[in-house]
Amino acid sequence: MAMSHIHESEFANRYLAGTLSDAERALYEPEIARNEDTLRELEATARLKVGLARLRESGELDELLRPTPWLRLRPALTVAAGVALVAIGIVLVRLGGSGTTTPPLLAASVTSLVDRQGSVLPVTRTLAVFRKRVQGADATLEAASAPQAVELRVLPETTVPSEDYRVTLARISDNRVSEPVASLAGMRPAADGFLTVFIDASRLSAGPYQLDVLGAVSGDSTVAAGTFRIEVEPPKTN
């Protein structure tokens, strides 16, 4: 599906708002997976939406929209641009076993995801994870029957000055109980506001997961920086 920049922006806005039809979503989501420009357009739209939402919540957006001499407006625009480039943090998760070292389920680098022979897993897909304002999952990925990595680029809703984050991945059971898989603290955001995380899709079972991002504020205190719903589908059979 070849789309102009205008159409990409329109699709990105409607995708994040959950207003695409089933037919449009079926066309757009594969385009995100195979076209880097479309993925970057979606990420830029998400950053802008999150930045504007934060300005609105703090009351700064109303101030920015008031008629203001240009020399007074420039510093405010600089602040707005900085807010839009959000900081996030996610996990390097280790599933430990007694007496043996198990490769992690999630890793900050794909080189940490290896098969039984020690070979680095191939990256088969890049998935953008944003908080959507609709019912359903914020992201959907397919479990794999063979070891392979999926690249996740995640954008939280809240940032903290410390840029220090803890993320917990949990499996949601049939009775809606959250069962933590693993957690890691001390993660730092990338310059573009996203954190790239690689996940071994063959280690996932089908069903709902939840990714909670917490930001450190002082000492052991944290604030919620984002909660993402991830739906894992069963692997496709040939």
What is the DSSP code (8-state) at residue 203?
A: G
Choose the final residue of a domain: 51, 84, 117: 84
140 and 193 part of one domain = yes
Q: Which residues contact 211 (CB under 8 A, 6 or more apart)?
A: 90, 129, 154, 167, 168, 169, 170, 226, 227, 228, 230
C-beta separation of 194 from 125 below 8 A: no
Domain with 117 in it: what CATH number? 2.60.40.2550
74 and 117 part of one domain = no
Q: What domain count does the chain have?
A: 2
Q: Sort residue 99 into left (φ over 0), alpha (ψ -120 to 50) or beta.
A: left
227 and 110 part of one domain = yes
Alpha carbons 168 and 210: distance in angstroms, whole number: 8
pTM for this predicted structure: 0.62
78 is a domain residue: yes
187 and 117 part of one domain = yes
Residue 60: domain span: 5-84
213 is a domain residue: yes
The whole-number pLDDT of residue 214 equals: 86
Is the dihedral angle over the CA atoms 142, 143, 147, 153 positive or is it negative?
A: positive
113 and 220 part of one domain = yes
The whole-number pLDDT of residue 99 equals: 45
89 is a domain residue: no
174 is a domain residue: yes
The whole-number pLDDT of residue 61 equals: 62
Choose the final residue of a domain: 54, 84, 114: 84
171 is a domain residue: yes
92 is a domain residue: no
132 and 221 part of one domain = yes
The whole-number pLDDT of residue 232 equals: 92
Alpha carbons 121 and 112: distance in angstroms, whole number: 9
116 and 214 part of one domain = yes
The whole-number pLDDT of residue 83 equals: 45
- Residue ranges of the chain whose pLDDT lies below 50: 1-2, 6, 70-73, 77, 79-99
Partner residues linked to 221 by β-bridges? 218
Alpha carbons 210 and 17: distance in angstroms, whole number: 20
65 and 164 part of one domain = no
Q: Hey, what's the torsion of the CAs at 159, 228, 109, 234, to 10 degrees?
A: -170
The whole-number pLDDT of residue 98 equals: 42
53 is a domain residue: yes
121 and 228 part of one domain = yes
63 is a domain residue: yes
